[in-house]
Each structure stands twice: as structure tokens, then as C-alpha cells.
Amino acid sequence: MRLRNGVAAKYLLTLGSVVLVLACMSWAADSDKDQTDINKRITKSAEVLNEIMATPDKAIPDKIMDHSKCLAVVPSIVKIAVGFGGEHGKGVVTCRTARGWSAPAPISITGGSWGLQLGGQAIDLVMVVTNEQGMQHLLASKFKLGADASAAAGPVGRGATADTDASMRAEVLTYSRARGVFAGIDLSGAVVHQDKDETALLYGKIIPFEDILNGKVPAPASSEPFLAVVRKYSGQAREQGEAKQPESTRTASASSQK
């Protein structure tokens, strides 16, 4: 009897160990998958912004990009349940600091009526914060478009000047791309907030939204493709190029223009 009980105990101990190992492996796999997902989302955000801005007559105007305070991109993993308030998406945002663009902060956007406007299809969203007041709303880590921060559908066209000044009076300009068509969109009623789960995945711990977007946190290597595209189209690349240009070259260039 004792022998039989001993064998059963060993069997249960072995089985428990196997279950524990499998559970740990499953947890590690899920963790790796989540980490991969946030990195893919950052890469996709870079691709979306680059594709939009590479089409001059359908892009965000240069004037708006040059004066932007923050840029947010929600790539096309958005799932929309039309008529049921199921609009939901995840993306990243970066803000302009004295040392350049901040590390990206993961965000979620929920609610609003934008799903109805687009017939329930998956879309890309881009939001441009145009002034300091809008930036302060964003740094609060949660705000409602059209309520906490004024929002408007943004004008389109890299060289567009008509309505651009009027549009920039809004604190946030909003855009969408669906089936290859890029245009301004009304996101009033949508709530934007920090995605704390993905923040912890990206940085290894939860970091306050404000600290990330004020440039107090080093950008992870996986975010460089996104930040490179933001710099390219926000005027920073041109500004840095002029700053690095030798004085003699700048003088010669200025003389030739005369």
C-alpha cells in the first residue's frame, strides 16, 4: 500500500512539474508575442505616416507638420463595430521637445462616431496636436476630442495654404486613410488615453505619459523607424541640415539666391 501511495505521489509530483513548466513556457510565449505586437505597431505607424506624406497632393500640409507639437498614428489594426460603439484602436504618439522628438508613448483611442463615417472598415488614423494648449491636454494622459481639446478635420495637400491657418486654431487636427483615400475626419467624442499595458511592455515598466512625451525617457531602438519618419516630415531634418551646414556654404548659397 505504501509503495502504491509512493508511486502515486511521484506521479502527481512529476505531472505538476510538467504543468508548471508548460504554463511558464506559455506565459513566456505570450509575453514575447505581446512585445512583438507593440514593436510591429510602431513599425506600422512609421509606414503609415511615410506612405501618407509621400503623396504630396494628398498629404498633411507642410506648414502644419512644421508647426506640430505632437503627432499620433493609429495604424490599420482598428476594429470597428458599426452602430455598437465598438470603435477602438491602438497606436503611438510623440511630442516635440527642446532636444528633438520624444520617445513614443503607446495610446488607445475609443468611442466617437468615426466608424459610422467610414462604413465600418479598418482605417489608419493620424492626429496632429497644433499648439501648446493641445499638448497640455495630451500630457494629462486622457482627454476627449471636441470636449477637453478642440478638434477639427485637417486640410490635405503638402503645399496647401487655403484653410490651413484657420484649421490650426483647433488644438488637434485629425485625419483618416481608408482604402487608400486620405482625408480629414471628425473624431469628436473619441477618447485618447495612455495605454499602460503596452507602455509596460515597451519600457519594462509603467512610466508616466508626461515623462515619456517631455523627453525624459530614452527612445527604445525599435522606435527609431517611426521617429525617423516624424523628423523627416516635421521640418526637423531641414532645420538640422541647415544647422550643420558650414557657414561658407550657407553664405555661398545665399549669394547665389541673390
One-letter amino acid of 51: E
Tell me what pLDDT residue 5 has. Answer: 53
Q: Which of 1-15, 36-50, 92-106, 141-155 has the lowest mean pLDDT?
A: 1-15
Tell me what pLDDT residue 28 has. Answer: 35
How many Å apart are CA 235 and CA 160, to the nearest integer? 16
| Residue 180: count of CB within 10 angstroms of its CB | 8
Domain boundaries, the chain: 59-241
Alpha carbon 210 to its chain's center: 15
More confident residue, 157 or 202: 202
Q: Give the DSSP letter string of 44-80.
A: HHHHHHHHHHTSGGGS--HHHHHT-SEEEEE-S--B-
Degrees to nearest 5, angle at CA 219 with 218 and 223: 175
CB of 95 closer than 8 Å to CB of 79:
no
Where helices occur in the chain by DSSP H, the ranges are: 2-53, 62-66, 114-117, 132-139, 164-167, 196-203, 209-213, 224-233, 236-244, 247-257
Full-model pTM: 0.73
- 164 has pLDDT over 80: no
| Residue 129: count of CB within 10 angstroms of its CB | 27
pLDDT tens digit sequence for 184-233: 777 778 889 999 999 999 999 999 999 999 999 999 999 999 999 999 99
Backbone angles phi, psi at 200, to 5 degrees: -65, -35
Check residue 222 and report its DSSP letter: G
Chain mean pLDDT for the chain: 74
